[in-house]
Chains A and B, each alone.
Chain A
Amino acid sequence: MRVLAAMSGGVDSAVAAARAVEAGHEVTGVHLALSKNPQSFRSGARGCCSIEDSHDARRAADVLGIPFYVWDLSDEFTEDVVDDFVAEYAAGRTPNPCLRCNEKIKFAAVLDRALALGYDAVVTGHYARLVNHQLHRAVDPAKDQSYVLAVLTPEQLDHALFPLGDTPKEQVRTEAAARGLSVADKPDSHDICFIADGDTAGFLDAQLGTRPGPIVDENGTQIGEHDGTHRFTIGQRRGLQIGHPADDGRPRYVLDITPVTNTVRVGPADSLKISRITTLAPRWTERTTPDHEFDALVQIRAHAEPVACHITVGGDNLQIDLVEPLTGVAPGQAAVVYDGDRVVGSATIATTASFSTVTTG
């Protein structure tokens, strides 16, 4: 096959490209320039869009003996990922930009361009497995990235290659060194790539400004003030800056965020527990979509444990009833549905409910 390797400049995508070459594919390396104003150098383990990263990707392509190009997708990335990220926070939700990037950039803008140019597939360094075109978790549970790929449609998965899914990370590094790839020891990237200093609250402040509003308790009594609802996510404990402790002396957490009234409601950990999730329209990873009701596992954050649930497929949503209640479930995050290790689909969380109250994001 003729395949396009998305090369970030990191060790994973370099080894993925190497494996594609070794599998006999005709591989072209492409570094995606996503930032409008790329930093010259990487700082620590954050981000992946510096000029130094582009150089690292190019050197890996040189070692592999494959053509290499830089594609400027900064307009698309700004519009579809960064602007969406800010808008979601402004609306009181907690978005996952990596998932969004896979949905709109890597497996849409890039894949479409690649297919038009005559390529058959896009290969990335994501840790996930494709078994008979079905998306599965990676064997390395610490690195598994199936959650952020769960938005992909069967058509997108048909043109994706994830050569690292069956390999533990440490082995990937060893292999990179053995192949003479200089990025073998490069630190893993963390955090959000477009927030180079890792200060998400500061980034959102710069985008949205400071918008003070009340912090209230479960009874609606104001007990403090915040600088903007975008600084909070459901289940958050730090940064509340409430003057006096709760009457019972127990820590308080963000229970919900209401942008319309600019209010953050807080309460004890028990009040975070929810047992029902309602979502927006789901995206299924397979052509045969599930029956209207079934038992499954659901994962509600990138690094959360999957939990047992019962799913009811509605007209344009899912109702997910949890066997055991969960805490820290935020509207805007993806609820990813698994059958064992197999990804069935995903849907953006719209509302959550405990036994008695309903929270709207």
Chain B
Amino acid sequence: MTPQPGRHYLDHAASSPLTAAAAEAMAAWVGVPGNPSSLHTSGRRARAAVEESRESLATDLGCHPTEIVFTSSGTEADNIAVLGSWRARRSTRRRIVTSAVEHPAVFEAAGAAGQEGADVVLGEVSESGIVSLADLLDERTAVASLQWVNNETGVIQDTGRFAEQCRRVGAWSHSDAVQALGHRPVDFESAGLDLMAVSGHKVGGPVGIGALVVRREVSPAPLSHGGGQERQLRSATVPVALVCGFAAAVREAVAGLADEAPRLRALGERLIRGVAATVDRTTVTGSLAERSPAIVNIGFDRVRADDLLLLLDLAGIDCSTGSACTAGVSRPSEVLLAMGRSEADASASLRFSFGPTTTDATIDAVLAVLPDAVRRARAAVR
């Protein structure tokens, strides 16, 4: 909400600052007593606030309120969707279908199911980042997962067609919609999905809250055990303030989508054009047509993305490398490797991601320092 003086924040896909509306909705619950599961008046009031938020979210996500299961994060939602669905169906369906460009929350959850005996199969990924799972889906498939918008490249997948392909063979369809929400229309019902994960802090809500949308006919196994608060699927006291902040942020983001998406798209196109004009040997990673307006991933030939990040950081720019961080050491981006890039190219891209605080001045600031940063970073590669 409060911009850091002298800094330009281009990492909304990592975490977008809390919006004023979300903060206000949360503030109303600071210091107020009441567990939403309690039967007394204070408990009922808390429960009412949670349910109002649930209904508001359901409207914004295109689902029924009972289909929303609050979780601690998008990661937890993805884990329940993948691992929980596999555990619920494993006696008759042994297969999990997904791809190597999925968020680790899906990919690693599938890997954990693999440790339990699941047959995990990965779909092909095109050079532009489009995933094809159709050929792998069959009657053996327990659950299939396809990310709505990729968190590194912003590439959009056709979740409607995917859900239809799953339905034909009785596989549960899951989509991680964490990066889609707030940046393009997300409608659970019309997409025809069985499961969908969303997160609060990527859309200006608080960190620590997410949700799994679960179609009524679908029943994954719980991964943690306790009081059964959220539809017997996700136990733990529901955090009222976080839920209220989450719903407020989503409400604002969805209401503003028609104006905000073209605004961000124009900023992204300015950045792409500006980089192409001032830095040689650069490429936009992934499909240009099927791209979220909020994410621009640019590959810079012959650099370590780490070095570029360091130089931009010193110049006041916050952005991100596509690469994963393993034990504090960056590795080539798994997403870019899956898209057929070399190890060097998969270690040479930056992700700029936009949100409400991104303006022309932010793009100007990047374009002012990027050419020199790339020149130095290229010199640092022997």
Residues of A within 8 A of B (CB): 28, 31, 33, 38, 51, 54-55, 58, 67, 69-72, 74, 112-113, 116-118
Contact = CB atoms under 8 A, between A and B. Distances in A.
Contacts of B376: 116-118
Closest 5 pairs between A and B when the two form their complex, measured CB to CB: A116-B380, A116-B379, A70-B328, A72-B329, A33-B329
A71 B380 contact: no
Contacts of B309: 69
B311 A117 contact: yes
- Overall SS of chain A's interface: mixed
Contact of B328 (A51, A67, A116, A118): A51
A226 B294 CA distance: 67
Given A67-B313, A67-B314, A112-B382, A117 B330 contact: no
Interface string B315-357: 0000000000001111000000000000000000000000000
A33 B380 contact: no
12 contacts: A28-B310, A33-B327, A51-B327, A54-B327, A67-B313, A67-B314, A74-B329, A112-B380, A113-B380, A117-B377, A117-B380, A118-B376
A117 B328 contact: no
Interface residues of B, number: 16
A70 B329 contact: yes
A76 B330 CA distance: 15
Contacts of A69: 306, 309-310
B327 to A, nearest CB: 5
B307 interface: yes
Contacts, number: 44
B307, B328, B330, B379, most chain A CB atoms within 10 A: B328
Given A74-B329, A116-B380, 11 more contacts: A28-B310, A51-B328, A54-B327, A55-B328, A58-B328, A69-B310, A70-B328, A72-B330, A116-B376, A117-B311, A117-B380
A31 B328 contact: yes
Nearest to B306: A69
Nearest to B379: A116
A153 B328 CA distance: 31
A71 B314 CA distance: 16
A38 B314 CA distance: 28
A54 B327 CA distance: 9
A33 B311 CA distance: 20
A174 B376 CA distance: 39
A20 to B, nearest CB: 15
